[in-house]
Structure 1
Amino acid sequence: LLALRRAARAWTPLTPLLSATVPDAVELADDEVADLLGQGARALSAAGVEVHWPREMARKLTARAVIGPPEGDGPDALASGAPSFLSADALLAFDWSFAVGDQELSRQELDRLAEANRPVVRLRDQWVLVDPEQARRARARQDRKVTPVDALSAVLTGSTEVDGRRFEVRPTGWLEGLRDRLADPEGMEPVGQPAALAAELRDYQLRGLNWLARMTSLGLGACLADDMGLGKTITLIALHLHRQTDQEAAGPTLVVCPTSLMGNWQREIERFAPGTPVRRFHGGRRSLDDLADGEFVLTTYGTMRLDAAQLASLNWGMVVADEAQHVKNPHSATAKELRTIGARARVALTGTPVENNLSELWAILDWTTPGLLGRLGTFRTRYAQAIEEGKDPAAAERLSKLVRPFLLRRRKSDPGIAPELPPKTETDRAVSLTKEQTGLYEAVVRETLAEISGADGFERRGLIVKLLTALKQICNHPAQYLKEGKPRIADRSGKLELLDELLDTILAEGASVLVFTQYVQMARLLERHLASRGVASQFLHGGTPVAQREAMVQRFQDGEVPVFLLSLKAAGTGLNLTRAEHVVHYDRWWNPAVEAQATDRAYRIGQTRPVQVHRLIAEGTIEDRIADMLGRKRELADAVLGAGESALTELSDADLADLVELRGGAR
């Protein structure tokens, strides 16, 4: 009786039990049964009274979203039925599926539940206990249409949010097949290395090619976010060649990249895809006339921003955003104009998909596959804030499921990646001269060659050495050649722009780098420039005392200073700097053996990680010519390398003019 009194106080429909001779049963009205399903049960539970329902009485009405084409359009229809996800031309059905217990209801049965307006209804030879209000809300849910990319987003995460509540999602038709295919990246038949590629792709590069080929063939964008040095460029070139074998995918490829990387792109294409037409859409005489189907067009983010309308008017097979972190601010003019350029496929390349916050990831993936992550404001609320502030642990898992198929991220430290790398990878990185550098270079060549033509003997040799030194300094930075006291450093040198690009990526990876230059003055300029950017560096040169030298090495090895500037002569031997994963040769030495010794400061016993060597070369200049001799003309190279600059002083006037003449390569 005490228990009954407590229960009746909590839920008044039990009051008749208190006056019954044998309080074993009570008849309830429909509205009382409905109340007991919700508020009544909670009130009794708070009073310490449990409510048990008959096991055979199914009483939970569940809902889940069903998204996709009509049920008859099965998973095998993927190839023919799937639309391009870069457009919103097609709309897919967003239906609802309801079940009581483990039995799915037909629409007629749901109507019966709602119209009965009773909590207990006879359905399929059993009593069903359902909140009438819940049944009415379920029937009121309107089926609607959603874009393919919205549908894909929902089925990849496995749930969708409606009216503040999260519901399970089930895909149908080809959408189900697409989900399964994206969930199993290894399940697709490999495309193999293109016959036209003049290189042997490493295993992980082949996997990257297969992934890119699959994503782009499905009309989906992709972001290849491998670490620097893993070969994103050659993988993309292989993708371009592969797509040319498919009539529907073939077409010109537009590569948008920082100015400092244009020369490198052109060289890599000419090296790995010989015969493939490539042009630069850059500078005053840029043109897109007579564009070939399988052509590469290289442009800069700045030029793209200016000429977006012209670029958008063409039918691109693929658009590539290299160093895609340049468009991490979706509100920038650069990002907005890039979005106006249509293509059958979009690919982003970056070593740092997230530098500061998750909104940067949104900006990149919303360009490659627009709409995938929803609107930026919604994304920030649903994912970015929830994850960054630790509010919703499940949000990180949902975002991972959503992003994983569209972003391929491999690090040099990943299992199966580092063994594929050679212990040392050396890359010549071509850069263009700025207008200021071009003017200085041409003036010095013109004036000094005139002097040399009227001189002989010792005087002539001295003038040639002076010319070579001046040209190398101009290639480095105008302020070095002009010996300016307090110069403006930024935006005057192509090499410095490229160095900034390299350092941004290297430091974002948490790696360390050695930067060698043969000129103390140039190192001082770099030191000042890095300080203005807030990048920690230190400079070791011939005048550095031994004790200080040892302390600097220790600081670098301990990871306290990520950028170590070094004078080539002073630091080319005798140092153990195995903390460095990258070595940058800012200017070229005439003898590669000296460069190799400097590189060996990092690449030596004790080094456990692959070393990336970057040689900066001013395109179209004497540096380019020397690099060409080092790489291809071994006989002449041996003569030059054996004696250094002195061999060049013996060249005829005509040969010397040919060596130092500026050929293209300038902006």
Structure 2
Amino acid sequence: MEQEVVFMIKIVQNGNVYELDFRYDPKLIELVKNVPGRRYIPQTKRWEIPVDNLGRFLNEIKGTAYESQVQTYSGEHINENAHVEVTDKIPDEDISDITHYVRAGGHLYPHQIDFLKYMKHRQRNGFILADEMGLGKTLEIINMALYHRDAYHYQHCLIICCVNTAKFSWKEDIETHTNGCETAYILGTRKKRNGGYSYGGGAEKLSDLTTGCMYGDASCSKLPYFLIMNIEALRTREGRVYTIEQQLIEMIQQGQIGMIAIDEIHKNASPKSIQGKRLLNMKKKTGIAAEWVPMTGTPIVNKPTDVYLPLKLIDGHTYKDYWSWCQHFCLYGGYGDHDIIGYRNIPQMKLMLKRNMLRRLKNDVLELPEKTYYTEYVENTPAQCKLYTKVTNELVSDRDEIVHSVNPLVRMLKLRQVNGSPELIDDTISIDKSYLSKNAKLVRVMELIDDIIDRGEKVVVFSNWTAPLKTLYRFIATKYKVCCFTGTMPEESRQKHKTVFLNNPEYKVMLGTIGALGVNHTLTSANNVIFYDDPWNPATKHQAEDRVYRIGTTKSVNIYTVIVKDTIDEVVNNILKNKQDMSSYIVDNGLDIRNNPELFDMLVGHGR
């Protein structure tokens, strides 16, 4: 048998060019010729390409046999998978003048005391608060804001929530940790005639800010120190004027807002989004008049596009604009050289972060009980198997169309629905007594819930979608008292469900969508989590499971993931587990099929 020839392509940086060193190969040469600015050097018998076009070349060989035969020697640290380093030095500041705020019967942990030292040492210079999820960033910000009110005479601290539902948690935490001495006000709140509150849109929020009074009513109380709003409010506009942004700029310039904390800034705050641009404009117009504190539990140092905005808000870099930043830290390729296919110069960005970020990990600062993972495999029922084969064949026949579509994952969703909600694909399946014989995953989840409740423990069940939770509720609610928290529920209703789950021992099951319940909630009354289905990326899953694994956790935590064997479930789970090796597949918090067509074959089972 003839042995396959293995080509090795050495890419060596030499100043402003990369030299390509490889044995003569006509096919590879044709790919090199597609790179703008390439030239052949007869003296060295090597090809050269401009530094800025390395991404174009890597994209040309993507999906070919050459892709795995590349060795790159570069001072730009191409695709270096660097992790955020923890903060190893805390300034020795005297904090005897700082009052500690914490709920009755509670106390600040040592790492939160260190936060006060770090914060005081920074004076009014903002920083990125990047403590790992579950370490109490909210409480730290509350203490910081109240100290700075006394030290620097701030009139208001504005909390901007990048996850809309987080505003309720912030209000509750502020009032709880100050033992009712402080009021937190959600902009746009309005009293209902029959009692309770509603939460208005941009017009109501703007009215609150312009009148300076709660409920937009000049006869009501003045706005309190803590103001809370969702980031989407910055999109409010009249004609060409972004009215809420403009009002906030005026309040900052007049000294009314002294501190701005942005919660979960890695979500919904892209520099290219309207709200991201509004934040940048606010910073540009107000300079150092306000102190900014971007917050995130999951900083991704090997994704520079997420780091530009928070660093810009705290004057952590001097890049003029987002384009300049991306030119330095991103590799471009694809159609028109507009797709980001890799990253570079990561060590430079790490240094910027280290100078401007406070980062601690739970394992380093807390003594938490053990977290144990369980993978629960099931096999589809005969009805599901038949349906799965049918959907797979349809997808394979439309492969090229799907791969090149704007959002290929939408089409792939059908396979996941077969596994978890087959009735969504086959309308002849009814949710009746016979349904359990047609949904193996649901049966296993119900068995797990039975076991957990028999132990006298509580459980949170997560799904990406509402449909499977509705079905699960119909069966579980006949046996147990169940709470729910999804994006389709009214705000007031789901907050009530959350309160009941946390405080009523008779309610042991919480069903929630990952999008609504997977961030900014503390659910430590439970010590079990079941994932009915995996999210598309590992960071989202980690955030969701840590709702029960944080300060306040006293029991060992069990994380169950239910997977249908030999299906898309197993492929997605493997990608999440091996995120270091599969990082190229995960772009913008999802699986990138368009730039990784082989991923389609893996998901449908033709690439194993």
TM-score normalised to structure 1 length: 0.38
Bigger Rg over Cα:
1
**Could you say which structure has the higher helix fraction?**
1
Name the structure, 1 or 2, with higher relative contact order (CA <8 Å, separation 6+).
2
